Amino acid sequence: MKQPRADGIDPHARSRARRRALQAIYAWQLSHTAIAKVIEQFQAEQDMEVADQAYFEDLVRGVEANLGTLDEALSHFLDRDIAQVDPIERAVLRIAAYELRHRIDVPYRVVINEAIETTKRFGSEHGHTFVNGVLDHAAAQWRAAEAQAPRRS
């Protein structure tokens, strides 16, 4: 297993945190259970030791706390109402929107790549293409300076 980066962040633990956050947000969207209860259930039922627990909680609580503004911001890049988006893709988009807007410490390309990979794993057959298109447009606007910066080799 790879070692954490020099900044102490374990990218694999972050990926696992995103996957668990997706499952938690998905469950929350369908059940309308209080987010604290959803987090508690995940901590009891999931192997959270291999995930970045703090990042998982930040994502889940961040989506819940900013839901209205995230959905409004995403609406500009959607071809339908957010409620009509597949529940898995909706959860992925909400998590990625939260990261793009509130976790600027995470490069936008990482956010998009993680969202695509998570959608490939849990979403519909072509859901990742939809997610990619929405997030590409969103990142170009929300992280314009970063998106326009030359890529480092």
For residue 50, the model assigns a pLDDT of 75
Residue 4 predicted with pLDDT over 90: no
| CA 108/CA 105 separation, integer angstroms | 9
| CA 125/CA 98 separation, integer angstroms | 24
Helix (H) / strand (E) element for 27: namely: helix 11-31
Per-residue pLDDT tens over the stretch 74-124: 999 999 999 999 999 999 999 999 999 999 999 999 999 999 999 999 998
Q: Domains in the chain and their CATH numbers?
A: 11-142 (1.10.940.10)
What percent of the chain shows pLDDT beyond 70? 91
- 112 within 8 A of 143, measured Cβ to Cβ: no
| CA 21/CA 92 separation, integer angstroms | 9
Lowest pLDDT segment from 34-43, 92-101, 103-112, 137-146: 34-43
SS3 105: coil
Q: What rounded mean pLDDT belongs to the chain? A: 90
Residue 1 predicted with pLDDT over 50: no
**What are the backbone dihedrals phi and psi of residue 60, each rounded to the nearest 5 degrees, phi first?**
-65, -50
